[in-house]
Structures are given as C-alpha cells and as structure tokens.
Amino acid sequence: MKVLTWNINSVRLREPIVLKVMEGLAPDIVCLQETKCPDPQFPFKNFEKAGYGHMHFQGMKGYNGVAILSKIPFHKVHAFNRVGKNDCRHIAVEVVSKKIKKPIAIHNLYVPAGGDIPNVDENDKFAHKLDFVDELKDFFAKSYARTEPMIAVGDFNIAPLEHDVWSHKQLIDVVSHTPVEVEKLSAMQKSIGWVDAIRTFVPHTEKLYTWWSYRNQDWKASNRGRRLDHIWVTAPLAGRLKSHHIHKEARDWPQPSDHVPVMLELDL
C-alpha cells in the first residue's frame, strides 16, 4: 500500500499535476492539504476517472481544506473541528487491508502555519498553532491505543530535527523550527508512540526537505528547504515500512506547489 501526502495550495489550479503524480507514482491513497476549495466545487471527476473513486474532503472558501482520494474503499470517514474552529484542517478515514485484522485509520492533518512572530502574546496565529498541536496530542491519547494500526500524514508546518532545516542556527527563532513548537510536536508524537516513518529511511544527520519557499528566486541553487510534511505510523505498522519517496522533481514543474509529494510504501 502506497500512501502519499502533498500540500498542493489550491486543488483546482493544481488538478493536472495531482493527476500526473497519480499516474507517475501510483499511490493507493492521496492526502491533500490546502485545497482552498468549497466542497460543492471540488474537482472530483478526473480523479474518479483516474481510479480514485473513493473521496473524502472538507474544504472552505479561500483557505485551508483537506482531501483524501483513494483507490481503496473507506470503511469509515471522519471530520474534526479543532480548537473550536470549523476550519477544515483534519479529516480521517479507515481502510481495511488483507494482511492485518483491524481497520487502519489514516489521519490527514493541516497544522496552522502560525504567522511570523513566535510569541503567543503578540501573535494569535502562533497561539492557535500550539493549541492545535496540543489538542491533537490529547485527541490521539484519549481516542486510540498504541496497539491500533494508524497512519498520520500531512503538512505539520513544523520541522523538528536539526537537519530538517537548511540551517538550524539561522532558523531557531523562525516559526516552524522554534523549540516550543518542536516540543509540542514531540509530545504529540509520544501520545501514542508515533514513529516518524520517513526518517526511518534517512539518517538524522542527513538534510531532508519537503518544502522550498516561493520567495527564493532559485529554490534549487539556494536549497533553503525545510521538512514540514510528515508521515507517521503507530507500532503495529512500524515493521511494515517498505520504502519512501520525496518527489522533489515536482518543485520544478510549471506552476508548482511550494511543497513536494511525500510517499510511504507499506507491506499491507
């Protein structure tokens, strides 16, 4: 089973390259963030034609929005409101695999970016981000056991490790890599023992990015990236990880997203 996550920054504008990724990488399940599309306008037809007939999405006008497009039918679907807002940042599905008994829950997350100032007293967006991650920690801890097979993917908007950013020193006070955010994400990871699946394939000493800002005139030459997009699994799936792929070439396509697709293959 191949699960792919991608922040596409408008599903309507980026529909052709989502289809291109589906064709090229053949993921079974595609989780999108920042669809920026109200549900009645979601462009489902070509995804259906491409074999992704099972869809679950929650979008709104202008901002945010998450979607799960799948070749595999859903056993159940969920949509969540987080920190008292209905802002379309968290949905989940359950799928059944032949190889394990329990249905596998797949959570698609779009954690708030958090604004520019890393201070909760001066910046409500940063406070919202920290509260969001806190709430996810509590949610996973109270809703699930460590023995349940689960996958969490998405744009977490936090690069936790030293080599998840181009310069640990220069980004230590930049939102996405501050100690307080890393601490919150670490607590969320510990909630039910999430394993950072992508980093099991790449040593922590090696630079690894999934996002390059639009504001660099040559993203590849400057290579000032960050690893903001993640795939986590719980213990029952940790022994079933087969391969990973960061589809960096997508950053060079015309009208690219600033994030690239991240894919995990599991033996399921």
Partner DNA sequence: ATGGTAGGTACCCTA
Residue 152, SS3 per DSSP: strand
Strands (E), 52-143: 54-58, 66-70, 76-79, 90-95, 104-110
Listed residue (137, 130, 63) closest to 107, CA to CA:
137
Cβ of residue 150: shortest distance to DNA, in angstroms? 25
Helix (H) or strand (E) holding 245: strand 241-246
User: Positive or negative CA dihedral for 25, 31, 37, 40?
Assistant: positive
Give, as ranges, the residues between 110 and 139 that touch DNA (CB under 7 A).
112-115, 125
* Gap between the Cα atoms of 227 and 93, Å rounded: 25
User: Least distance to DNA from the beta carbon of 188, Å?
Assistant: 18
Task: Please report how close the Cβ of residue 234 comes to DNA at its closest, in angstroms.
Answer: 27
> Which range, of 69-77, 135-143, 183-191, 210-218, touches DNA by CB under 7 A?
210-218
Nearer to DNA, 36 or 137 (CB): 36
Q: How far is the CB of 258 from DNA (least distance, A)?
A: 7
- By CB under 7 A, tell whether 85 contacts DNA: no
CB of 96 to DNA, least distance (A): 33
Comparison of 147 and 170: residue with beta carbon closer to DNA:
170
Region of 96-104, 209-217, 236-244, 260-268 interacting with DNA (CB under 7 A): 209-217
Q: Which stretch binds DNA (CB under 7 A): 61-69, 93-101, 180-188, 237-245?
A: 61-69
Among 12, 20, 168, 204, binds DNA (CB under 7 A): 12
Rounded-to-integer distance, Cα 125 and Cα 138, Å: 20
Number of residues engaging DNA in binding (CB under 7 A): 21
* Residues 16, 256: Cα–Cα separation, whole Å: 11
- Closest separation in Å from C-beta 112 to DNA: 5
Q: Which of 228, 229, 209 is nearest to 219 (CA)?
A: 209
Instruction: Evaluate whether 71 touches 47 at the Cβ level (below 8 Å).
Output: no
- Residue at 111: amino acid letter: V
Contacts with DNA, residue ranges (CB under 7 A): 9-10, 12-13, 34, 36, 38, 61-63, 112-115, 125, 157, 213-215, 217, 255
